[in-house]
Structure 1
Amino acid sequence: MPHDYDQGLAALDDLIEWAEANASEQSRNEATTRLHLIDALLTRVLRWPRAAITAEEPAGSGRIDYAIGTPAIQFIVEAKREGVYFDLPAGTKLGVHSIESLTSGSAGKPLREAMEQVAEYAFRRGVAPVGVTNGNQFVLFIGARNDQVPPMKGKALVFPSLTDMRSDYRLLWDNASPVGIDERTIYRTLRLTEAPPPEPLARHLTNYPGVKRRNDLQAGLDILGELFLEDVARLEELRDDFLRDCYASSGALSQYAEISKQILQTRYALLGAEDGPQLATLVGKKGLSPALTQDMLAAAASRRPIVLLGDVGVGKTTFIQRLVHVDAADIFANALSLYIDFGASTTLGQLSAFVIDESKRQLYSQYDIDIEDASFVEAVYHGALNRFEKSVAGKLKNVDIVAYEMARIRFLQDKVDSGAEHLRASLEHLRSNQRRQLIVFLDNIDQRSSEDQEQVFLIANELAQTWPATVFVTLRPETFYQSSRKGALSGYQARVFTISPPRADVVLQRRVDFALKQLNETQRLGSYPTGITVDSESLVAFLGVLASNFRENQELLALIENLAGGNMRLALKFVADFIGSGHIDTRKIVTIQETSGSYKIPLHEFLRALLYGDSVYYDPDSSPIANVFRITQPDGREHFLLALVLSQLQALGERGSEEGYVATSELYTFAQQLGFNAEQIATALGHASEHRLCEVSPRYSGDQVRAYYRITTVGAYTVRILMSYFAYVDAVVTDTSIIDEGYRTVISDAHTLADRLARSEYFRLYLDRQWAKMPNSELPWRWSDVSRKLSQDIYRVGRRTDPGTWGAGPAS
């Protein structure tokens, strides 16, 4: 940035010289003034890129002269013709002044009208920093404030002339350049403190978030639930049965997804666009792709790795296990298979060293091959030893047998100490002498950073090039997309197969059926932890509840399918957490199942287990469900920003032609037209991406990289369904800042159901009042519709528990 600063300062000197030479032409109109002075001030002196400046941007009944910033408008400048000087009070010097003093009286009217006009634009676009200029004078102030102070009651930074700008160019740069606007320096200059929203109720609760206690039955079910639904795949004695009975082919479209089939079907379309790599589907309706088995046999000869692409949790590891033990068992029966799990260790250090160490360990533990064994080493380097015999050192054999043996040992030890080269030579020896194919899997790197993934791909490519092996590597799609165009993968042509997630309902049905089968046949598993005493009949009853609900309870399946968002690992965790949750009445469920033979899990029971986890209160840092009502500024309208942006994202994505992706600029334009500022929008999009409500991907066009967003089932389901449930609102209300002091006093800690219902109703009414501040325009989502459904759900719960108090409830 120092280079830009120096160039801007030099440009200001040129502008001053030009203005003095053309001082007689001060009758220039606004358009000419903008062309000669203001454009130069913004682009050359302040170094704003022309691509970031939009002229004549519509705003209400008027037009913004300069809307500056991309993808969001960050700075608005109102231009006046040069002949209209702002009559500042006598003696006004460069610096900070009260706006009222600058604009008082008839002499201050031109400046006052210009500032009021740009403040109106700022309010409509949610842009705080604004300026008014005629090319010679520059007045900067905050046009949209969140501290309840009207903009015209605040202060402004005034540059009375171009020479004043030159006398303290650093002040001008720090407050009006791109970097200065990014750093919000104008707030510090005007000594304006940005008010945070009030603290949420959670900040005032003792022992927040608390730990929910479990009874013995819940604790036992929790342990066994994880064993059956998550860890059963790791049990060696059940491995083959599990992989045959529980594996669900990927690619089936869910009937419960809250987003269009078009987006689901084009999950990986972005990867193959723009001259990207050729993609093949790994598993189809008829099973394993024939192309994969052909590539397995040919990959070692072609010396290129096979890339398995899939989002986190779609089942890449399970696919590999089934490939090895079921689908291609005949190939692997006579092969040496090395599985390098990068997710098994939290501290890997040097990735290449980890691959070497793991390969050596697995050769020994799985195949009883110790590549450092003396006799094995001698066999590997038999030819090299023959050459050693003929070397100068080999002549010691006839002179000093001890020295000869020492030299021979050092020769072999140097080979062993070469690390990667010794491992490669050992593998070549095994292939030549045992006629066994070597297959290497580099897996679970997708749980690590993009940089680590790129590094592991380079390792996979090197192994494919130098080892006599077929090499598989698993990657995340977005990492592969970015790196194949601009990163480490851009110079390689890998063979790529994609893995789509299976349907969550199918996976869960098969897992529970498998667990029930094992319990009914053996009463236990061989890997039961010792010392566990639990009523296995209760577990059978509880698994029976799950089995029937995973077949028939469509409302429950829709929740799991959408909130898992294709991550089967997460879907299984949802179930394991529910089984042992302290927030459900486990004994009641088991009793009803044992006596009546069936129990339909109400959605609110499962939802509570997910919302709270092991905590007493909702904790946004540990819950898999996001609070979409959270706000970052004391602006009650912000409660609805995330829902509005996600709904607009879905609407644009499902009717567009970009596989559901929407440009960031479109989302900023939409939200700023509703009056939200760039910081609010950026925070909302970051929160949405972090909590999987949407996904963000870069798109490359030449040297330009732009971010594009796409709705996920998690985001669509949260906005369309969850926001209207009492159980959801009851949880997140403690994490939500309440702007209205009157409502803040009645939204307090609550434990009885009656008090929680009343609190949720107050919260709903509070949100109704904040929604009334929104512009009355066509919107893709309306809180009033959600509020009506929420009211019905609150009254439904109230009537069920206390019919006398709640009466007939609201009309549907």
Structure 2
Amino acid sequence: MEKTLSVDESFENFNSLKAEFDKFIQEDINESDTRSKLIDNVLFKILGWSESDVTREGKVDSGYFDYKVSISGFHFIIEAKKNFKEFVIPKRHKTCKVKTFLKENEDVITQIRDYAGDFGVNYGVITNGKQYVILKLYNSDGTSWKENPCLIFSGIEDVENRFVEFYEVLSKFSIINNGGFIYDLPSNINPSQTIFSKLTQKEKELIRNPLSSKITPIINNVFGEMFSSESESNEDFIEKCFVENKETKKNRDDIERLFSDVAPKLSNVIPAVNTSNIQKQITDEINQDEINSQNFTPPKPIVIIGSKGAGKSTFINHLFKYQTKANDLNNHLITYLDLRSYFDSNNQFDSELICKNILENIYDKYDDIDLHSLKVLKRIYLKEIKRNDKGIWSYDKANNEDVYQQKVSEFLTEKQKNNREHLENLSKYFIRDRRKRLIIIIDNADQFKDAVQEQVFLFAHSLAKTSLCGTVISLREGYYYKWRSAPPFDAYESNVYHITAPKYSEVLQKRLDYTLENLNVDDFEIEAQNSKGYKVKINNQAVIEFLTSLKSSVFSSDNNEIIDFLNQTTYPNIREGLRIFKLFLTSGHTKVEDYIMRERFRVEEETHSPIPFHEFIKSIGLINKHYYNSNNSAIHNLLLPNENSTDHFLNFYLLKELVKLYENEGNTNRFVSINSIYDLFTQFGYTIKTLRSAILELINISLIDTDEVLTDVDKKDIPDDLNITITLKGYYYIKELCTRFHYFDLVIQDTPIFDKDSFADIYSKFPLSNENGKRSLNGRVDCLKSFFDYLKLCEKNQSNRLKSYFGSFMEYIQPNITKDINRIEKN
């Protein structure tokens, strides 16, 4: 591995070479000698670059350049001149604009700019071996390159006096860590304003819809987790709402197939063909286990893996709680521990306390076995008691029964104090005396950080080995794939099953059906008013009408936009999809009165959707607020500039490039090296730091995925060797959502506007919300038209090279926006 040159080592080398510099500077050496005697030493011995980073004297269309210095995602040209040819630069200034010294140094600046243009490089350094000028030669934001600031080192003495700055700007170590020249990182971005920041009542809550208090308990129960402490005993709920995954790939379209939730092709991971298939594999594996006191080989622990929210807990509970009632698992005693309830009162993993909780679960579930009885306890510790009977207890056993029984009781009491050992002995007792295997399920380890999941994994294997019990644990697939080949995990054998998420539409439909079948709210009657002022009485029947309307709308063959949104922005995280749908049901912007009226007076032949898609987006985007704030919304704002940037379009360009790669390469080659993205985008003037910030945010909001499964771990930084791809959610945003009026109607509210006049115009047209959360539709259209004018102004300032490669953002969104606005203005 290449050694990094620290600033201290660099300064020592500078001092060692300083005398040689003085000698060379006194000589009249040509450009070639300047390069070999001066600049090579500076580059390699002082600034820490290696030969592999540097290309010398290469030919381009405009001539021969001296040096091109490159790392992935960042490049700059160095033009060397004779040492006696001093540049005309301000002596007592660290910086100045290019235009200030352009006239006196026009030949060398024109020359290096031509070289940079041939290469698609934005930065250059001109030097004569003693003076150094670092300058940006091309911009991507439409501003004049002559206005760019340059960084000046006016001589060797100036370099020595400002050595730390010299190192921080030009060294390989600094450029890698800063993502470019640190002097060029914007220190004062143009001031911006947002509509949201100017609103006086921006955090005001909207009054929830009148049915909210009546239906929220139902919604929380039915649209929450299927298995919880409250609902785990509801067999009817489990039976009717559990969705078996019966996927058949031939019936799935290209997009769905590409982004499907499939297991990686690893020999030790068993993929789910469908729910019945994988349940049968697990039950057969358990039932084929030979249970007798002579078999000291425990079954391999079963590890259930799957993506976040894919239904691992639902699968485990359905198999081990519901299916076992049909005697699918013979000769096994099953106990279940939800790790979340354990961590409610414990901040760290304690195996002794875990074992105590497991024992309590066994005692409660199998109370009929009398595991606390003296008779059973003596059977559990039969071997030790017999040994003591022949040894230390033999006299009392023969001569003093009371004392003997006291000693036995004390012995059994002491044994039960060690929960881990007692659980192990209890498990062996089940095998020896009852021909039953204990199966311990530890669920929801995947809800915790990797350190806890690691401990659960090791605990499950250790417990299986020492107690001969079966263990079942659930892990997030990202953690498992990350660990599987590393010590100590590679030392353990497991049977690993990958759980595929069911279709979201089936999950939602079963939940709605169940709600309608089991609706049981107290008699009530509320008088409410819809958006047109008509009064409507809302009672028990109204709840049924609302949910029926909702169901017919969501699953209408003519309108599947809501299902498409939920499928494509949350799959395979079914839990997240249900959460988003629950937001809609309880949002203050979900106008229950309107939907009930539409359902009551809908002509039977009408096929229109009672719940328009734009109203759904508004409900989940605003929740119970009057105004949009991307920090707490389910709708993401792609126009937010990234770190040290005023560019509204970078996220669009990144996603569009990844979509293009996916559409060209298909599923097999859809991942691309992040370094190739850096290389492409830095050609257009973006710094690595800005790109890294943008990509990290897109990963965090699940619009981009990685081959390192960073969606499953804490995402604080990006490895340099990462591969990335578009997600189904990112594909949906770029192809559909960010081309629609209802999307921009939200994101306009917290998008920073960097032009004062534009902001004044936009803000003056922004219609405020009334008490019911309504804003003038005509005003919203007028406001968005001004906003689009501002975006056109921003796009006009983008470089022609950038727009030529990625295309125009405004032209891309225009067709759907125009359709939406025309539809609004006709009504």
Same fold (TM over 0.5): yes
Provide the C-alpha distance between the structure 2 equivalents of 1:67 and 1:251, rounded to a whole number of angstroms. 55
Residue 787 (structure 1) aligns with: 814
Query: 2:211, 2:592 within 8 Å by CA — same for their partners in 1?
Result: yes
Matched position secondary structure for 1:607: helix
1:225 to 213, 219, 222: 219
User: Any stretches of 5+ residues in structure 1 without a counterpart?
Assistant: 526-532, 801-812
Provide the C-alpha distance between the structure 1 equivalents of 2:223 and 2:486, rounded to a whole number of angstroms. 40
Provide the C-alpha distance between the structure 1 equivalents of 2:250 and 2:736, rounded to a whole number of angstroms. 16
Compute the displacement of 1:733 (Å): 0.8
Compute the displacement of 1:675 (Å): 2.9
Cα shift readout 1:640-694 (whole Å, capped 9, x = no counterpart): 2112211211221343364522211222233323333223222221221111112
Residue 733 (structure 2) aligns with: 718
Output the amino acid matched with 1:625: I
Residue 633 (structure 2) aligns with: 623
Provide the C-alpha distance between the structure 2 equivalents of 1:225 and 1:59, rounded to a whole number of angstroms. 67
2:317 to 321, 335, 343: 321
Compute the displacement of 1:342 (Å): 2.7
Output the amino acid matched with 2:697: H
Distance 1:267 1:684, change over 3 A: farther
1:560 to 538, 556, 566: 566
Cα shift readout 1:68-106 (whole Å, capped 9, x = no counterpart): 443x32xx432224635551459948x825456983664
Cα shift readout 1:171-190 (whole Å, capped 9, x = no counterpart): 43333334534665999879
**Structure 1 residue 646 corresponds to structure 2 residue 655:** yes
**Structure 1 residue 279 corresponds to structure 2 residue 269:** yes
Query: 1:340, 1:359 within 8 Å by CA — same for their partners in 2?
Result: yes
Residue 156 (structure 1) aligns with: 151
Query: 2:62, 2:115 within 8 Å by CA — same for their partners in 1?
Result: no
**Structure 1 residue 361 corresponds to structure 2 residue 363:** no
Query: 2:443, 2:474 within 8 Å by CA — same for their partners in 1?
Result: yes
2:547 to 543, 557, 572: 543
Residue 810 (structure 1) aligns with: none
Compute the displacement of 1:346 (Å): 4.9
Which region of structure 1 is more displaced relative to structure 2, 368-377 or 470-479? 368-377
Distance 1:148 1:90, change over 3 A: closer
Residue 529 (structure 1) aligns with: none
Residue 6 (structure 2) aligns with: 4
2:748 to 733, 742, 749: 733
Matched position secondary structure for 1:351: coil
Residue 773 (structure 2) aligns with: none
Cα shift readout 1:549-601 (whole Å, capped 9, x = no counterpart): 34323222211211223211122222222222211321121122234367532
Residue 804 (structure 1) aligns with: none
Query: 1:81, 1:134 within 8 Å by CA — same for their partners in 2?
Result: yes
Distance 1:632 1:232, change over 3 A: closer
Cα shift readout 1:389-423 (whole Å, capped 9, x = no counterpart): 45558767799999977876665454333332222
Residue 603 (structure 1) aligns with: 613
Query: 1:564, 1:570 within 8 Å by CA — same for their partners in 2?
Result: yes
Matched position secondary structure for 2:753: coil
Cα shift readout 1:218-240 (whole Å, capped 9, x = no counterpart): 33233322333335654658733
Cα shift readout 1:346-394 (whole Å, capped 9, x = no counterpart): 5642324353233123112322378777665444223223333455587
Residue 699 (structure 2) aligns with: 689
Cα shift readout 1:585-622 (whole Å, capped 9, x = no counterpart): 21121122234367532111111111111222122222
**Structure 1 residue 750 corresponds to structure 2 residue 748:** no
Distance 1:699 1:564, change over 3 A: closer
Matched position secondary structure for 2:824: helix
Output the amino acid matched with 2:613: L
Distance 1:684 1:171, change over 3 A: closer
Residue 303 (structure 2) aligns with: 307
Provide the C-alpha distance between the structure 2 equivalents of 1:323 and 1:313, rounded to a whole number of angstroms. 17
Provide the C-alpha distance between the structure 1 equivalents of 2:581 and 2:376, rounded to a whole number of angstroms. 49
Compute the displacement of 1:139 (Å): 3.1
Which region of structure 1 is more displaced relative to structure 2, 590-599 or 180-189? 180-189
Distance 1:557 1:39, change over 3 A: farther
Query: 2:48, 2:173 within 8 Å by CA — same for their partners in 1?
Result: no
Compute the displacement of 1:335 (Å): 2.4
Cα shift readout 1:750-790 (whole Å, capped 9, x = no counterpart): 23222222111211222122223332414277431202321
**Structure 1 residue 216 corresponds to structure 2 residue 204:** no
Compute the displacement of 1:425 (Å): 1.8
Q: TM-score, normalised by structure 2?
A: 0.81
Residue 444 (structure 1) aligns with: 444
Aligned residues between the structures: 771
Provide the C-alpha distance between the structure 2 equivalents of 1:56 and 1:709, rounded to a whole number of angstroms. 35
Q: Identical aligned pairs, as a percentage?
A: 21
Compute the displacement of 1:696 (Å): 2.1
**Structure 1 residue 250 corresponds to structure 2 residue 208:** no
Compute the displacement of 1:33 (Å): 6.1
Residue 591 (structure 1) aligns with: 597
Compute the displacement of 1:136 (Å): 4.9
1:103 to 98, 101, 104: 101
Matched position secondary structure for 2:439: strand
Q: TM-score, normalised by structure 1?
A: 0.83
Provide the C-alpha distance between the structure 2 equivalents of 1:192 and 1:595, rounded to a whole number of angstroms. 59
Distance 1:60 1:731, change over 3 A: farther
Matched position secondary structure for 2:632: coil
Distance 1:673 1:99, change over 3 A: closer
Residue 387 (structure 1) aligns with: 387
Compute the displacement of 1:314 (Å): 0.9
Compute the displacement of 1:481 (Å): 1.8
Query: 2:244, 2:276 within 8 Å by CA — same for their partners in 1?
Result: no
Provide the C-alpha distance between the structure 2 equivalents of 1:772 and 1:42, rounded to a whole number of angstroms. 39
Matched position secondary structure for 1:80: strand
2:788 to 746, 753, 764: 764
Compute the displacement of 1:310 (Å): 0.9
Output the amino acid matched with 1:642: N
Matched position secondary structure for 2:133: strand
Provide the C-alpha distance between the structure 2 equivalents of 1:293 and 1:58, rounded to a whole number of angstroms. 69
Residue 263 (structure 1) aligns with: 258
Query: 1:646, 1:715 within 8 Å by CA — same for their partners in 2?
Result: yes
Query: 2:310, 2:575 within 8 Å by CA — same for their partners in 1?
Result: yes
Cα shift readout 1:27-51 (whole Å, capped 9, x = no counterpart): 5656x86666545534443334667
Compute the displacement of 1:454 (Å): 2.5
Residue 501 (structure 1) aligns with: 501
Distance 1:555 1:671, change over 3 A: same
Provide the C-alpha distance between the structure 2 equivalents of 1:660 and 1:518, rounded to a whole number of angstroms. 45
Output the amino acid matched with 2:305: L
Distance 1:266 1:588, change over 3 A: closer
Query: 2:380, 2:426 within 8 Å by CA — same for their partners in 1?
Result: yes
Query: 2:356, 2:420 within 8 Å by CA — same for their partners in 1?
Result: no
Output the amino acid matched with 1:341: D
User: Any stretches of 5+ residues in structure 2 without a counterpart?
Assistant: 291-296, 523-536, 711-718, 769-775
Cα shift readout 1:276-326 (whole Å, capped 9, x = no counterpart): 543222242864364333333468946532222211111111111221244
Provide the C-alpha distance between the structure 2 equivalents of 1:584 and 1:768, rounded to a whole number of angstroms. 34
Compute the displacement of 1:244 (Å): 3.1
Provide the C-alpha distance between the structure 2 equivalents of 1:733 and 1:320, rounded to a whole number of angstroms. 44
Cα shift readout 1:123-166 (whole Å, capped 9, x = no counterpart): x6677xx64345554334566788979565635241623x7656
1:339 to 333, 336, 339: 336
Query: 1:254, 1:503 within 8 Å by CA — same for their partners in 2?
Result: no
Which region of structure 1 is more displaced relative to structure 2, 506-515 or 447-456? 447-456
Query: 1:612, 1:618 within 8 Å by CA — same for their partners in 2?
Result: yes
1:240 to 212, 235, 238: 235
Matched position secondary structure for 1:291: helix
Residue 434 (structure 1) aligns with: 434
Residue 79 (structure 1) aligns with: 78
Residue 513 (structure 2) aligns with: 513
Provide the C-alpha distance between the structure 2 equivalents of 1:796 and 1:500, rounded to a whole number of angstroms. 40
